[in-house]
Structure 1
Amino acid sequence: MLKFVKHYMDSISGIEIYPIISLLIFFSFFVGLFFWVFTAKKDYIEKVSNLPLDNQKENIL
């Protein structure tokens, strides 16, 4: 099975670009996420982090 897949992949022209594109998408996503985390306002992070606790208080009452 693995020989078939390897032979099939070798026969496709231009397939070597797909792992590079995947790596770039993966890397850019995490760089963007890293940038967002360090530039997010502390008030927003505190508000969002307290949402699960606020929801539980409303359900008890």
Structure 2
Amino acid sequence: MLKFIKGHMESMEGIEIYPIISLLIFFSFFVILFWWVFTAKKEYIKIVSNIPLDNNQNDTEL
């Protein structure tokens, strides 16, 4: 089965670009995420981190 897949993939033109694109998307996502974390306002982080501890019942209970 592996020989079939390897042989089939070797016959495809331009397939070598897909792992490069995947790596670039993966790397870009985490670079953007780290940039957002380091540039986020500390006040916003504090408010969002306290949401699970908030005792206000703004949701309707089922």
For normalisation by structure 2, the TM-score amounts to 0.87
Q: State the percentage of identical aligned residues.
A: 74
Name the residue aligned to 2:46: 46
List 4+ stretches of structure 1 deviating above 3 A: none
Name the residue aligned to 1:28: 28
Name the residue aligned to 2:60: none
- Rounded to whole Å, the distance in 1 between the matches of 2:56 and 2:5 is 55
1:3 aligns with 2:3: yes
For normalisation by structure 1, the TM-score amounts to 0.89
Structure 2 unmatched runs, 5+: 58-62
Partner-residue secondary structure (3-state), 1:58:
coil
Q: Deviations over 1:9-30 (max 9, x none)?
A: 0011000000000000000000
Name the residue aligned to 2:56: 58
- Rounded to whole Å, the distance in 2 between the matches of 1:26 and 1:52 is 30
- Rounded to whole Å, the distance in 2 between the matches of 1:42 and 1:11 is 53
- Structure 1 position 58, deviation (Å): 3.1
Paired residues, number: 57
